[in-house]
Amino acid sequence: MVRVNGDTGDGGISDHAQHELTDVVFVELPALNRQVKAGEACAVVESVKTASDIYSPVSGQVTEGEQAVVDNPALVNTEALRGGGFYKIKLGNPAE
């Protein structure tokens, strides 16, 4: 999931996805300045049930990682739609 704001986006997972994962216990962020393509795995989330790759829905350059979800992975469950994002990305193709 990505929330677009101009030429940047906030990447993370949807509320539905966090609900399916249940208790998130680990988040691995993409490297800063990494170029990603739409559909490419760029982050990892692990819950008590499973570990899953997070795929970027858009192409672009990772400009920031959200350290708060690394320090407190439970934010993914409680704030999936309000601040539980994983990274910011400068969109390579805003039409995506």
What domains does the chain contain, in order, with CATH numbers?
A: 2-91 (2.40.50.100)
pTM of the entire predicted model? 0.85
Distance, in Å, from the CA atom of 57 to the CA atom of 9, rounded to the nearest integer, reads 10
What is the full DSSP assignment across 58-86? Answer: S-EEEEEE-HHHHH-TTHHHHSTTTT---
Q: Is 32 helix (H, G, I), strand (E, B) or coil?
A: coil
- Residue 4 pLDDT level (bands cut at 50, 70, 90): confident
Which pLDDT belongs to residue 84?
56
CA–CA distance, 78 with 19 (Å, rounded to integer): 10
> What φ, ψ does residue 21 adopt, rounded to 5°?
-70, -30
